[in-house]
Structure 1
Amino acid sequence: MSIRTERVAALLKSDLGEILQQDYQYDAMLTITNVRVSPDLLQAHVYLSIFSTAGDQSEVFDFIREKTPEIRKKLAARIRHQVRRIPEIHFHLDDTAEYVEKIDSLFRKINQRKSGGKDGSGQSGEESGQ
């Protein structure tokens, strides 16, 4: 990415984060994890991480997608003097945290099998007749 696209992405991340936290209420914690802007600055892909105790992550995401035109208008009011054209916003669920948790869980299972599969004699439970 060029310096310009990085700056616009950072600007969008900051302002969209404020808009989503101040203007909309959810029963979930919402975080913008990443913003990718096209080289022509006309498309912005916004990655959201939604943590919900009620497990209604898709409900919150659907609500945000439904409000995308309204969110874009609020964003335009904030950044109209900094960019020529307001990019089209495309929201995506960021499943990176879930993926990391799944990988960590697999590593924990592997480590448990390695350490738990051996008894004090250095033989595995199957070899020692257990």
Structure 2
Amino acid sequence: MSIRTGKVSSLLQKELSSIFEKELPRSGPLLTIVEVKVTADLGIARVYVSLIGSEKERGLLMEHLQNETKYIRKLLSSRIRHQFRRIPELEFYEDEQYDKARRIEELLKEALNRPGEEQTES
């Protein structure tokens, strides 16, 4: 990642977080922007979001984000239009790291709490 794309990614993450926090109605699962990756030509911004809620709520919110991409891009444009000639297209993806980490923790707890098995010390 070049310095320029890194700065653009950081700015987009900050502004999108602010938009989700202040300008869009809150309902359903908790949404956090984990990362924004911008293509080298700055034409596409891939936005990775972490959602905490039920599977159904998360699915509905991702669908809503896909449907409202143009509106979110318009809000973003109103904030950063003086810094860019062209606002990148937005693509939203669900970041599943939280779910994977929680599953690993469950497996570790399960493995450590098995009755009748002795643990060997090294």
Aligned-partner Cα distance in 2 for 1:84–1:5: 15
Q: What is the DSSP-based 3-state SS (H/G/I as helix, E as strand, rest coil) of the residue aligned with 1:91?
A: strand
- TM-score (norm. length: structure 1): 0.83
Backbone CA RMSD of aligned residues: 1.8
Structure 1, unmatched stretches of 5+, are 123-130
Q: What amino acid is the match of 1:48?
A: V
% of aligned pairs identical? 36
The match for 1:84 is: 85
CA offsets, 1:44-94, max 9 Å, x none? 100111112695111111111111001001111111111221111000011
Q: What amino acid is the match of 1:3?
A: I
The yes-or-no answer on 1:110 pairing with 2:99 is no
Q: What amino acid is the match of 2:38?
A: V
The yes-or-no answer on 1:57 pairing with 2:46 is no
Equivalenced residue count is 118
Aligned-partner Cα distance in 2 for 1:118–1:95: 32
Q: What is the DSSP-based 3-state SS (H/G/I as helix, E as strand, rest coil) of the residue aligned with 2:72?
A: helix
CA offsets, 1:29-55, max 9 Å, x none? 110011111111111100111112695
Q: What amino acid is the match of 2:116?
A: G
Runs (4 or more) in structure 1 with deviation over 6 Å come to: none
The yes-or-no answer on 1:95 pairing with 2:96 is yes
Q: What amino acid is the match of 1:75?
A: L
1:4-83 matches, within 5 Å, as 4-25=4-25, 26-52=27-53, 56-83=57-84
Q: What is the DSSP-based 3-state SS (H/G/I as helix, E as strand, rest coil) of the residue aligned with 2:113?
A: helix
Larger Rg computed on CA atoms: 1
Deviation at 1:2, TM superposition (A): 0.8
Q: What is the DSSP-based 3-state SS (H/G/I as helix, E as strand, rest coil) of the residue aligned with 2:60?
A: helix
